[in-house]
Amino acid sequence: MFTPVSNKLRQLGGLAPEEKRVLLAAPTRLREVPRHQDIVSEGARLGESCLILQGFACRYKLLPGGKRQILAFQIPGDFCDIQSFILDVMDHGICCLTRCKLAVYPHATLRQITERYPAIHRALWKETLVDASVYREWMASIGRRNAYQRIAHLLCEIMTRLQAVGLATGHSCEFPVTQADIGDSLGLSVVHVNRVLQQMRRKGLITFHDNTLVIHQWEQLAQAGEFDASYLQLTDPPKHERKQAGDGVSMAIV
Amino acid sequence: MFTPVSNKLRQLGGLAPEEKRVLLAAPTRLREVPRHQDIVSEGARLGESCLILQGFACRYKLLPGGKRQILAFQIPGDFCDIQSFILDVMDHGICCLTRCKLAVYPHATLRQITERYPAIHRALWKETLVDASVYREWMASIGRRNAYQRIAHLLCEIMTRLQAVGLATGHSCEFPVTQADIGDSLGLSVVHVNRVLQQMRRKGLITFHDNTLVIHQWEQLAQAGEFDASYLQLTDPPKHERKQAGDGVSMAIV
DNA sequence: CGTCGTATTGAATGGGTTCAAGTAGCGTGG
DNA sequence: CCACGCTACTTGAACCCATTCAATACGACG
């Protein structure tokens, strides 16, 4: 069913079959959140964390002036608010870009699991460290790359991450964001995003419409964006068309 | 001796005295690193992690074009490369801004401790989550604030963090960075940093020379930078002149 | 068929960069 | 003691990448 999740679990480093089973049996319920609605809002104090089964979301901050900064895009398999398990108050919101299906993990359950299984504890920690690694790369992008490079880099990142969880076919994937979203994630205006995307299309590097991104010339785009996937900490090189049995485990609530 | 560390430990959330003792007894040796030298270099695979006892450091990335992005400033009490305990390869370097004294924690030791003491495991995880929270705030700053706001925000952050570990007296602290460093941390050119700092000086908001930062008008600067300290996750409100007994624990190797 | 959200285009403006030159402080060595 | 070199800071002027403002186009949807 939710192969992205089992693919993701494989990334999560060194979990034994039993530990994977424990993690998949933990969520107590399924939650659905409609498009453009918060999964978690800034300032919230939570008693549970959510794993994305289906759909796209984004972390974001709203600044006093009304400007928005998107901090990350979250895709199926991401444990999108696991940090609330440790930090009391959310310093940012998480909003659905599409309708999302989530698996809900009560913090009490996570507490029991992490105290009993140090390997799971480490795996969840790792998940947040990979997030942090992505933050760092974005910071470098926003701080030191120009608009063309930033957009190229972002598109390569999205494609690579979706490939890793089996949600891309070749160099094509769903990426349900508006040009305004891209702007808010890279510190650019909508207008300029539009112009740069056109440049890339004219050069034949990409097509991007109907929420579908296709990268026609991976090498050129990756080079333009100085993209090197190592910061994503993917243990397996992203392969296309990988068939995944999910280690024979499946999610209890589904 | 190293009061910043014991102050920091108090932030680290709900550690029992014994657990603090364990953490302080764990480092096997002291390490000193001279100014402008890497504590850890990008690409390194480490067998140990370092806690900063004295001195200032910064995380950074070098981009292919030769540009540099500073990702964070690290101060005494920061567990500056704990992430290498979980992630195999460093995706960025950490460089000393001043001579640094470090307490070295072998990963094997950390492994034993975290498996035995879930609370310490959580505390170390939390440390990295606070780092991530700071990354997010910086991203918002670099992406959506102008030069004046960015610099104001950074100066407020530094002051607040140093206050929290007892390294500021009132609104004055040591901040041993060049204007180029500030530029590289905020995505600005040296020239522009210089001009904005002069603006702030002319308005009487700050003085900043000889590596000493003084904020004369905290309210104005904080407002200009939209600074709200909550993202720093300081459990105690930073108080000046706080005397700290360190819970009667002290570091074994010192 | 009007409306809303998104994409597109042109033109003017501006925040910040880049280039270039000059200044100041400090340690070193002859 | 001064020349020298190094690093950090400062200033002016030209330029440009990206923003802002404003108008238009286009498709989906009730």
Decide: CB of B1 under 7 A of nucleic strand D. no
How far apart, in Å, are the Cα atoms of B129 and each of A81, A124, B11, B135, B136? 12, 12, 13, 10, 11
Size of the A and B interface in Cβ pairs below 8 Å:
129
A39-77 tens-digit pLDDT:
999 999 999 999 999 999 999 999 998 999 999 999 999
Residues 207-246 of A with CB under 8 A from B: 226, 230-231, 233
- Nearest CB to B142 within list A89, A187, A233: A187
8 Å CB contact of B91 and A136: yes
- Nearest CB to B132 within list A115, A135, A230: A135
Rounded to an integer, the average pLDDT of B190-201 is: 98
Alpha helix ranges (H) inside chain A: 3-11, 17-25, 107-116, 118-144, 147-164, 179-186, 190-202, 218-224
Give the pLDDT confidence score for residue A242 in this predicted structure.
46
Residue A3 has pLDDT above 80, yes or no: no
Give the pLDDT confidence score for residue B222 in this predicted structure.
98
**What mean pLDDT is reported for chain B?**
92
Q: Touching check for A126 and chain B: CB below 8 Å?
A: yes
Distance of alpha carbon B89 from alpha carbon B79, whole angstroms: 17
Q: pLDDT > 70: what percent of chain A?
A: 94
Distance of alpha carbon A118 from alpha carbon A124, whole angstroms: 10
Give the pLDDT confidence score for residue B3 in this predicted structure.
73
Give the pLDDT confidence score for residue B205 in this predicted structure.
98
Decide: CB of A198 under 7 A of nucleic strand D. no
Give the pLDDT confidence score for residue B5 in this predicted structure.
81
HSE, side-chain direction, 13 A CA sphere, residue A137: 25
B184-194 tens-digit pLDDT:
999 999 999 99
Residue B241 has pLDDT above 60, yes or no: no
**Chain centroid, CA B48 distance in Å:** 19
The answer for residues whose C-beta is within 8 angstroms of residue B137's C-beta and 6 or more apart is A61, A91, B153, B157, B231
Per-residue pLDDT band at A209 (split at 50, 70, 90): very high
Burial label for A174, CB within 10 Å (0-12, 13-18, 19+), is middle
**Chain centroid, CA A241 distance in Å:** 20
Give the pLDDT confidence score for residue B237 in this predicted structure.
53
Rounded to an integer, the average pLDDT of B34-41 is: 96
Give the pLDDT confidence score for residue B251 in this predicted structure.
79
- Nearest CB to B135 within list A114, A139, A184: A139
B72 to chain A: closest CA residue: A136
Distance, Å, B178 CA → C30 C1': 32
Residue B6 has pLDDT above 60, yes or no: yes
Provide φ and ψ at A220, rounded to 5°: -65, -45
Q: Touching check for B59 and chain A: CB below 8 Å?
A: yes
How far apart, in Å, are the Cα atoms of B102 and each of B20, B31, B33, B81? 18, 5, 8, 11
Rounded to 10 deg, the angle between the A3-11 and A17-25 helix axes is 130
Distance, Å, B221 CA → C21 C1': 33
Residue B207 has pLDDT above 90, yes or no: yes
Distance, Å, A36 CA → D30 C1': 20
Decide: CB of B189 under 7 A of nucleic strand C. yes
Give the pLDDT confidence score for residue A79 in this predicted structure.
95
8 Å CB contact between B1 and B77: no
- Nearest CB to B86 within list A69, A92, A126: A126
Residue B93 has pLDDT above 90, yes or no: yes
Per-residue pLDDT band at A236 (split at 50, 70, 90): low
Per-residue pLDDT band at A28 (split at 50, 70, 90): confident
Q: Look up the protein residue whose alpha carbon has the minimum distance to the C1' of D12.
A: B191
Per-residue pLDDT band at B240 (split at 50, 70, 90): very low
The total number of residues shown for chain B amounts to 254
B84 to chain A: closest CA residue: A129
Distance, Å, A190 CA → D21 C1': 13
Strand D contact nucleotides, protein CB < 7 Å: 7-13, 17-22
Residue B245 has pLDDT above 80, yes or no: no
